[in-house]
Amino acid sequence: MEIERVNANTLKFFITYRDIENRGFDREEIWYDRERGEELFWEMMDEAHQREQFSLEGPLWIQVQALEKGLEIIVTRAQMSNDGSKLELPISEEKQLDLPLDENMDKILDDKFALQNNYEPEDEPEPLEGEELSFMIAFRDFEDVISLSHGFDPVGVENGLYHYEDRYYLHVVFDDTLIEEDQDNRLSQLLEYGYETELTIHRIQEYGKEILSEEALEQLRGHFPLL
Protein backbone atom coordinates (compact mmCIF):
# COMPACT_ATOMS: atom_id res chain seq x y z
CA MET A 1 0.00 0.00 0.00
CA GLU A 2 1.26 3.46 -0.92
CA ILE A 3 0.63 6.41 1.41
CA GLU A 4 1.25 9.97 0.25
CA ARG A 5 1.17 12.86 2.71
CA VAL A 6 -0.54 15.60 0.70
CA ASN A 7 -0.49 18.12 3.55
CA ALA A 8 -0.85 18.26 7.32
CA ASN A 9 -4.52 17.27 7.15
CA THR A 10 -4.75 15.10 4.03
CA LEU A 11 -3.47 11.64 3.08
CA LYS A 12 -3.76 9.84 -0.24
CA PHE A 13 -3.74 6.04 -0.29
CA PHE A 14 -3.34 3.66 -3.19
CA ILE A 15 -3.95 0.00 -2.44
CA THR A 16 -3.99 -2.70 -5.11
CA TYR A 17 -6.64 -5.38 -5.23
CA ARG A 18 -3.88 -7.95 -4.69
CA ASP A 19 -2.84 -6.15 -1.49
CA ILE A 20 -6.48 -6.10 -0.36
CA GLU A 21 -6.71 -9.87 -0.87
CA ASN A 22 -3.36 -10.43 0.87
CA ARG A 23 -4.82 -8.67 3.91
CA GLY A 24 -7.60 -11.25 4.08
CA PHE A 25 -10.35 -9.29 2.31
CA ASP A 26 -12.32 -10.09 -0.83
CA ARG A 27 -12.24 -7.26 -3.38
CA GLU A 28 -16.02 -7.50 -3.80
CA GLU A 29 -17.08 -7.83 -0.16
CA ILE A 30 -15.63 -4.47 0.83
CA TRP A 31 -18.38 -2.85 -1.25
CA TYR A 32 -21.42 -4.82 -0.10
CA ASP A 33 -20.31 -5.75 3.43
CA ARG A 34 -20.15 -2.47 5.34
CA GLU A 35 -18.46 -3.99 8.40
CA ARG A 36 -15.66 -5.54 6.33
CA GLY A 37 -15.21 -2.34 4.34
CA GLU A 38 -14.86 -0.32 7.54
CA GLU A 39 -12.44 -2.90 8.94
CA LEU A 40 -10.17 -2.50 5.90
CA PHE A 41 -10.39 1.29 6.08
CA TRP A 42 -9.47 1.49 9.77
CA GLU A 43 -6.64 -0.98 9.24
CA MET A 44 -5.27 1.36 6.58
CA MET A 45 -5.74 4.37 8.85
CA ASP A 46 -3.94 2.60 11.69
CA GLU A 47 -1.01 1.92 9.36
CA ALA A 48 -1.03 5.58 8.33
CA HIS A 49 -1.03 6.61 11.99
CA GLN A 50 2.07 4.49 12.59
CA ARG A 51 3.95 5.49 9.43
CA GLU A 52 2.93 9.14 9.07
CA GLN A 53 1.86 10.05 12.64
CA PHE A 54 -1.52 11.05 11.19
CA SER A 55 -3.97 11.75 14.01
CA LEU A 56 -7.20 9.76 13.89
CA GLU A 57 -9.11 12.18 16.12
CA GLY A 58 -12.02 14.21 14.80
CA PRO A 59 -14.30 13.87 11.75
CA LEU A 60 -12.74 12.61 8.51
CA TRP A 61 -13.73 13.49 4.94
CA ILE A 62 -13.30 10.40 2.72
CA GLN A 63 -13.21 10.14 -1.07
CA VAL A 64 -12.92 6.71 -2.71
CA GLN A 65 -12.19 6.07 -6.38
CA ALA A 66 -12.12 2.57 -7.87
CA LEU A 67 -9.34 2.24 -10.46
CA GLU A 68 -8.42 -0.63 -12.76
CA LYS A 69 -5.76 -2.07 -10.45
CA GLY A 70 -6.88 -0.88 -7.04
CA LEU A 71 -8.44 1.85 -4.94
CA GLU A 72 -7.39 5.46 -4.52
CA ILE A 73 -8.58 6.90 -1.21
CA ILE A 74 -8.17 10.49 -0.07
CA VAL A 75 -8.72 11.19 3.62
CA THR A 76 -8.90 14.73 4.99
CA ARG A 77 -9.17 15.59 8.66
CA ALA A 78 -11.69 18.37 9.38
CA GLN A 79 -10.39 21.52 11.06
CA MET A 80 -12.16 23.84 13.46
CA SER A 81 -12.83 27.35 12.14
CA ASN A 82 -11.17 30.28 13.92
CA ASP A 83 -14.37 31.30 15.67
CA GLY A 84 -15.12 27.72 16.73
CA SER A 85 -18.57 27.71 15.13
CA LYS A 86 -18.03 25.21 12.32
CA LEU A 87 -15.77 22.56 10.87
CA GLU A 88 -13.87 23.32 7.67
CA LEU A 89 -13.28 20.47 5.24
CA PRO A 90 -10.82 21.41 2.45
CA ILE A 91 -12.08 19.98 -0.83
CA SER A 92 -9.39 21.54 -3.00
CA GLU A 93 -6.92 24.40 -2.92
CA GLU A 94 -9.59 26.70 -4.37
CA LYS A 95 -12.48 26.00 -2.02
CA GLN A 96 -13.53 24.52 1.28
CA LEU A 97 -16.71 23.03 2.61
CA ASP A 98 -17.90 24.69 5.82
CA LEU A 99 -20.16 22.65 8.08
CA PRO A 100 -21.99 24.06 11.12
CA LEU A 101 -21.23 22.50 14.46
CA ASP A 102 -24.46 21.11 15.88
CA GLU A 103 -25.95 17.95 17.28
CA ASN A 104 -26.41 16.56 13.74
CA MET A 105 -22.70 16.78 12.87
CA ASP A 106 -22.16 13.02 12.78
CA LYS A 107 -25.20 12.50 10.56
CA ILE A 108 -24.07 15.23 8.14
CA LEU A 109 -20.65 13.61 7.77
CA ASP A 110 -22.14 10.13 7.41
CA ASP A 111 -24.52 11.33 4.70
CA LYS A 112 -21.75 13.07 2.75
CA PHE A 113 -19.56 9.97 2.95
CA ALA A 114 -22.50 7.92 1.71
CA LEU A 115 -22.96 10.22 -1.30
CA GLN A 116 -19.29 9.84 -2.18
CA ASN A 117 -19.76 6.07 -2.38
CA ASN A 118 -23.25 6.03 -3.92
CA TYR A 119 -25.12 4.22 -1.18
CA GLU A 120 -27.83 5.23 1.22
CA PRO A 121 -26.71 5.80 4.82
CA GLU A 122 -27.98 3.29 7.32
CA ASP A 123 -28.82 3.87 10.92
CA GLU A 124 -26.15 2.58 13.29
CA PRO A 125 -27.48 0.03 15.78
CA GLU A 126 -27.89 1.36 19.29
CA PRO A 127 -25.65 -0.27 21.93
CA LEU A 128 -27.51 -2.94 23.84
CA GLU A 129 -28.07 -2.41 27.53
CA GLY A 130 -25.50 -4.43 29.46
CA GLU A 131 -23.37 -4.98 26.35
CA GLU A 132 -19.68 -5.50 27.12
CA LEU A 133 -17.24 -2.90 25.81
CA SER A 134 -14.05 -4.08 24.13
CA PHE A 135 -10.99 -2.22 22.88
CA MET A 136 -7.79 -3.08 21.04
CA ILE A 137 -4.89 -1.07 22.48
CA ALA A 138 -1.60 -0.94 20.57
CA PHE A 139 1.85 -0.42 22.12
CA ARG A 140 5.10 0.49 20.40
CA ASP A 141 7.30 -1.06 23.10
CA PHE A 142 6.95 -4.11 25.31
CA GLU A 143 8.20 -2.01 28.23
CA ASP A 144 5.06 0.12 27.96
CA VAL A 145 2.92 -2.97 28.47
CA ILE A 146 4.96 -3.96 31.52
CA SER A 147 4.65 -0.48 33.01
CA LEU A 148 0.90 -0.57 32.45
CA SER A 149 0.61 -3.94 34.18
CA HIS A 150 1.99 -2.47 37.42
CA GLY A 151 -0.43 0.45 37.57
CA PHE A 152 -3.62 -1.04 36.16
CA ASP A 153 -6.45 -2.59 38.17
CA PRO A 154 -7.58 -5.58 36.07
CA VAL A 155 -10.65 -6.43 38.18
CA GLY A 156 -13.60 -6.73 35.83
CA VAL A 157 -11.40 -6.49 32.74
CA GLU A 158 -10.57 -9.48 30.55
CA ASN A 159 -7.27 -8.93 28.75
CA GLY A 160 -5.09 -10.81 26.29
CA LEU A 161 -1.75 -9.87 24.73
CA TYR A 162 -0.76 -10.37 21.07
CA HIS A 163 2.05 -9.38 18.70
CA TYR A 164 1.41 -8.27 15.13
CA GLU A 165 3.59 -6.37 12.65
CA ASP A 166 6.13 -5.00 15.14
CA ARG A 167 3.47 -3.88 17.61
CA TYR A 168 2.04 -5.34 20.80
CA TYR A 169 -1.75 -5.39 21.11
CA LEU A 170 -3.79 -5.75 24.27
CA HIS A 171 -7.38 -6.81 23.72
CA VAL A 172 -9.49 -5.73 26.70
CA VAL A 173 -13.13 -6.48 27.44
CA PHE A 174 -14.87 -4.56 30.22
CA ASP A 175 -17.32 -6.59 32.26
CA ASP A 176 -20.82 -5.14 32.04
CA THR A 177 -20.92 -4.93 35.85
CA LEU A 178 -18.36 -2.10 35.78
CA ILE A 179 -19.99 1.29 36.15
CA GLU A 180 -19.34 3.84 33.42
CA GLU A 181 -16.98 5.91 35.58
CA ASP A 182 -14.78 2.87 36.27
CA GLN A 183 -14.74 2.00 32.57
CA ASP A 184 -13.67 5.54 31.68
CA ASN A 185 -10.92 5.53 34.33
CA ARG A 186 -9.52 2.21 33.15
CA LEU A 187 -9.61 3.27 29.51
CA SER A 188 -7.75 6.47 30.41
CA GLN A 189 -5.08 4.37 32.11
CA LEU A 190 -4.72 2.18 29.04
CA LEU A 191 -4.33 5.20 26.76
CA GLU A 192 -1.55 6.62 28.94
CA TYR A 193 0.69 3.81 27.70
CA GLY A 194 -0.80 2.87 24.32
CA TYR A 195 -3.26 4.05 21.71
CA GLU A 196 -6.58 2.71 20.52
CA THR A 197 -6.66 0.95 17.15
CA GLU A 198 -9.50 -0.23 14.94
CA LEU A 199 -7.85 -3.58 14.22
CA THR A 200 -10.21 -6.38 15.19
CA ILE A 201 -9.44 -9.26 17.52
CA HIS A 202 -10.29 -11.64 14.67
CA ARG A 203 -7.56 -10.21 12.45
CA ILE A 204 -5.01 -10.14 15.27
CA GLN A 205 -5.76 -13.76 16.18
CA GLU A 206 -5.59 -14.88 12.54
CA TYR A 207 -2.44 -13.06 11.44
CA GLY A 208 -0.68 -12.17 14.69
CA LYS A 209 0.98 -14.19 17.45
CA GLU A 210 -0.75 -14.94 20.72
CA ILE A 211 1.46 -14.21 23.73
CA LEU A 212 -0.90 -14.41 26.70
CA SER A 213 -4.54 -15.16 25.91
CA GLU A 214 -5.90 -14.54 29.43
CA GLU A 215 -4.97 -12.36 32.41
CA ALA A 216 -2.05 -10.95 30.44
CA LEU A 217 -1.47 -7.94 32.69
CA GLU A 218 -1.64 -10.02 35.84
CA GLN A 219 0.93 -12.48 34.47
CA LEU A 220 3.25 -9.74 33.24
CA ARG A 221 3.17 -8.05 36.63
CA GLY A 222 4.25 -11.31 38.24
CA HIS A 223 7.00 -12.13 35.76
CA PHE A 224 8.46 -8.64 35.26
CA PRO A 225 8.88 -6.69 38.52
CA LEU A 226 9.61 -2.99 38.19
CA LEU A 227 13.24 -2.08 38.76
Single-letter amino acid, residue 41: F
Tell me the pLDDT band of 146, cut-offs 50, 70 and 90.
very high
d(CA 87, CA 80): 5
> pLDDT digit string (tens) for 75-120?
887 665 555 444 454 444 433 334 343 334 444 444 444 444 443 4
pLDDT at res. 126:
43
Is the pLDDT at 51 greater than 70? The verdict is: yes
d(CA 159, CA 187): 12
Tell me if the pTM is above 0.75: no
Query: Which residue did the predictor score with more confidence, 197 or 89?
Result: 197
User: Domain residues of the chain, as ranges?
Assistant: 2-116, 133-223
Give the relative orientation of helices 180-193 and 142-151 as an angle to the nearest 10 degrees.
150
CATH topology classification for 133-223: Alpha-Beta Plaits (3.30.70)
Average pLDDT for 25-36: 83
Q: Specify whether the CB–CB gap between 90 and 81 falls below 8 A.
A: no
- E-strand ranges in the chain read 2-7, 10-16, 60-66, 70-77, 79-80, 86-90, 96-100, 133-139, 157-164, 167-174, 195-197, 209-212
d(CA 111, CA 105): 10
